[in-house]
A and B are shown apart, each in its own frame.
Chain A
């Protein structure tokens, strides 16, 4: 069994300030973890993924995430938010069956 908890439904930041989107997971298998972004009226775009290699994963658009097994976390960060980062972000866990489980999503709001 596997599950994902995104701890914040909304995160609001000012442009130029750091972003932290939190994700905790549980999995019976060694998990693969993903972050996807969904801009309004768009599909899901892969930001980054962890698949048992380096625990600090760098993705597109300056995002990165750190896999912490002891904390069962995979938080998404970015040093400096941009207006174009405003979107819905989904943390996803995939285990042995390759059927991913999605978190409920975190809406990132970026203020000028």
Chain B
């Protein structure tokens, strides 16, 4: 069964450094999403992406964040200058056209020191 994959599974970085989290959505899906889950808290929506542009974003998704689909398969989340409070699990998800169900990747655990 096709699945969403994410790399790396874990990343440790220093405050102020840039990180890029990578996702490979399910191949025929058109809608892509990033979420984060701070330890002990609920999953929060960050951004949705369709047709090579952001369709919706939350207030969390400020100028430090950007998303890109650099080729036909990858979907990336970049954090330009990481802060301690960016430490979280980041989930990528994708869904097909006219489908409600989003399929989630296994997540990247980001730790900012």
Residues on A lying within 8 angstroms of B by beta carbon are 32, 34, 36, 42-46, 49, 51, 90, 94, 97-105
A43 touches B43 (CB 8 A): no
Task: State in angstroms the CA–CA spacing of A43 and B4 once bound together.
Answer: 10
| Min CB–CB distance A16 → chain B (angstroms) | 30
Task: State in angstroms the CA–CA spacing of A90 and B89 once bound together.
Answer: 15
| Min CB–CB distance B110 → chain A (angstroms) | 14
A90 touches B43 (CB 8 A): yes
Q: List, in ascending order, chain B residues with CB within 8 A of A34's CB.
A: 101
Q: List, in ascending order, chain A residues with CB within 8 A of B107's CB.
A: 42-44
* A36, A43, A101: the one within 8 Å of B105 (CB): A43
Task: State in angstroms the CA–CA spacing of A44 and B56 once bound together.
Answer: 21
A99 touches B48 (CB 8 A): yes
What 1/0 mask marks residues of chain B from 93 to 113 whose CB sits below 8 Å from any chain A CB?
A: 001000011111111000000
B106 touches A100 (CB 8 A): no
The residue on A at minimum CB distance from B43 is: A102
A99 touches B42 (CB 8 A): no
Interface residues of B in 21-78 (CB under 8 A from A): 31, 41-45, 48, 56
